[in-house]
């Protein structure tokens, strides 16, 4: 079971909910609100699991997934998405 989760999400409510849920069950939660910041921090944070939003203002979460799969093959990824206002 992963111990360190990196959540990439631009919606504050979603961040708060996910951080609360995972923290309460003992996970270390790392947060980023955009793709560029996440790509810089993933190598130093070394998460076991990355949860990324697909639709974000600073380009697609799909770029994060590709970066992880190309560079950190053992890191698990969960893609999140909601319909939003679009």
Residue 16 lies in a domain: yes
pLDDT of residue 60: 78
CATH number of the domain to which 26 belongs: 3.40.50.2300
Residue 29 lies in a domain: yes
Question: For the chain, how many structural domains are there in total?
Answer: 1
Could you give the count of Cα atoms lying within 13 Å of 38 in the half-sphere of its Cβ?
A: 30
Tell me whether residue 49 is in a domain.
yes
The answer to whether residue 66 is domain-embedded is no
Instruction: Give me 10's structure tokens.
Output: 């631009």
For the chain, give the mean pLDDT: 89
Over residues 49-59, the pLDDT tens digits come to 999 988 876 66
In a domain, 62, yes or no: no
Whether 85 shows a pLDDT value over 80: the answer reads: no
Q: Is residue 65 part of a domain?
A: no
Res 54: pLDDT: 87
pTM: 0.86
84 has a pLDDT exceeding 70:
no
Retrieve residue 50's tokens: 């990355």
Cα four-point dihedral sign 62, 82, 59, 15: negative
Domain assignment present for residue 22? The answer is: yes
Note whether residue 63 is domain-resident. no
Host domain of residue 37: 1-53+75-86
């Amino acid at each position: 079971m992963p111990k360190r989760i990196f959540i990439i999400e631009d919606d504050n409510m979603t961040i708060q909910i996910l951080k609360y849920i995972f923290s309460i069950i003992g996970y270390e939660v790392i947060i980023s609100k955009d793709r560029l910041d996440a790509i810089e921090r993933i190598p130093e944070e070394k998460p076991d699991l990355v949860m990324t939003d697909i639709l974000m203002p600073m380009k697609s979460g799909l770029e994060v997934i590709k970066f992880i799969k190309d560079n950190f093959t053992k890191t698990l990824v969960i893609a999140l998405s909601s319909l939003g206002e679009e």
